[in-house]
Structure 1
Amino acid sequence: MIEPRLSTDEPMRLHRLRCLSQLDTPLEERFERITRLAQRLLDAPIAAISLVDADRQWFKSIQGFAAEETSRRISFCGHAILHDDVLVVEDARRDARFAGNPLVTGPPNVVFYAGCPIRSVDGSTLGSLCVIDRKPRKLSREDLQALQDLAKIAELEFSTAMDRGAQEELIKQVDALARIAHVDSLTRVWNRESIFRVLEKEIAAAKQAGRSACVIMADLDRFKPINDTHGHVVGDEVLRQAAKRMLGAIREVDALGRYGGEEFMIVPGNCEGLESAREVAERVRERIGGAAFHTESRDIEVTVSLGVAYCDDPGTMTVDALVKGADDALYRAKDNGRNRVETAIVSGEGAAKAA
């Protein structure tokens, strides 16, 4: 195995990377979409967007393997960023740079690798979009073009400032090291403390703008039997997949956090009304229950119940009132048969009424 060398512009490259404010941030659907497409178009079991930091590669998005980062010294993407074009490794076991690499001899058991550099607007290499297979293969001209096209889309996404509302404000307020403490380590969405901070900021913005605020509570149905029957490893995989499906159902301006266990909280950004929030919740319900979850054990059918709380009265618009209203609506959804959405309007002194 040969460790990747540093790039000739390493200080500037790292400066550009940190200016992105992307390291250790929660998952985003706009990047999840790219890795899903790469996985599907190139028929690869694993696809990832990797950002190469000083001593690690960190995955902004990864499909097919549960990892958040690896050491830079064993990374394939550490080699890919040194190339002007796509780095193709047809059989890593026979390549002196990678033979004996822990990522080859152990999980994810990389054999084939293709990585296209992702660059900033000034040309600095940030990382790569890569696909991985566990068997030797070649990359066709069509596949090569597809990977390059998707890498260009990733570059555009990194260069585009997204309006993510209150959660964008939170990202800007904390540095890269602090961000780690704000993200749930299993699902890579906001953790409980941080999603509450996002809700607080959203309520403050709503009061200032004179508009409504909403919150959605989502709880996976009958999750305990999944853990009891298939084990916690499978249960964890279901939670990871559920978070990704929820991300795919909400808007970029909406924030998703893990409330605890199998329960999640969604804070709709710039809430336009109760029906708008209910539509978000219905999309989440349909995305979760629309297809079985693929796990190592077996395919598992999963559904979700959701409670939506809405408030347009600045006097009663508080975190506690909205969360309680959404919780009450969630319990009604459970009592009324599960796999459904119930709503509540928070009014006078924070009381919540079914809507």
Structure 2
Amino acid sequence: MPDLTDRCSAEHEAQRLQALADYRILDTPEESAFDEIVEVVSIICEAPIAVINFVDRDRQWFKSEKGLGVRETPLDISICAHAILQSGLFIVPDTTRDPRFSSNPLVTGEPNLRFYAGALLESREGYPLGTLCVLDYQPRDLTERQRFALQALANQVMAHMELMRAHREQAELICELEATRHELAKRAATDPLTGLLNRRAFEQRLDQEVALIQRGAPPAALMLIDLDHFKRVNDTLGHQAGDEVIVRFAELCREVFRQADVIGRWGGEEFVVMLPRASVAEARHAAERLHQRLAITSMRADSATPLYISASIGICSLSGVSNMDECLHRTDELLYQAKEQGRNRSICEPEGVPAHRSFGMDSSFRP
């Protein structure tokens, strides 16, 4: 076989192989569009063998073939490897009389090829990729009309490949745009510090839940949480430490609440949680778990000096007679009661449970 680098530099050959790879055509299944071109060129050129082939690094691979019965051959016996070294049509009227092919095993043995004509398949950048070729068992030539048809159909092969690539690139672009849109929507709905829903996004989710409940979905519960004496953290340790506390508290909420529960940062040191399909009593138990975890969890994991905080919580129900603004107002009032009664406690809307649950912990700041 010819050494492709005799005519092209190693860098050019690498670029040619990359151009071929960019079409993503190698080792793809048979396709009717290519099979039909092969059938038509075989009929027009009156050739028993017709092939759409691509010259890879060490093999010749056939996208479509008629009369050969194989999908690839080694490159060292490839006639097409010579064809891609020149532009236009490459025609060998009698392979036994051409010193380049007279000793080729495809000529001296089965299938005893005697005639070859190939039209170059070129990338849009001008790199030779392979050929559309016809072969025969007898020495012969092509008429001018057959030569024109062979080249025209080779052009159609490349046109179809370009169309396939354009469709693929368009699909990839659509996926990228959709991913970007999703990321922008996520950012618009997310608190940048904690990764929780921001206030606007939580209100939208809460409004949806209220609408579902009004249409017959089971009631839910709403919880408003305020970190006790949080200002002391910022004043004493600085705002970076305050941010660490906010982030750690958000992580703790993810651990405590169910995956179905919706957690948001309401603003500053206030957080809000919606518990779908949950009663006030069930929400109170979740709040109890949160109080217990806060009592034993330092909010500065990397600090030598532990920092513990407590929280005040208001809990109300979401029912079919509720609207979003009323629920938020009731929960805020219950939170205010929790603060007035000494903080570090949960105050629940009456639902056959105690009006409040206090954990009797020392909620004073412990740096």
TM bracket (short chain): 0.3 to 0.5
| TM score, norm. by length of structure 1 | 0.46
| TM score, norm. by length of structure 2 | 0.45
Q: Which has the larger radius of gyration?
A: 2
The one of the two structures with greater contact order (alpha-carbon pairs below 8 A, sep at least 6) is 1
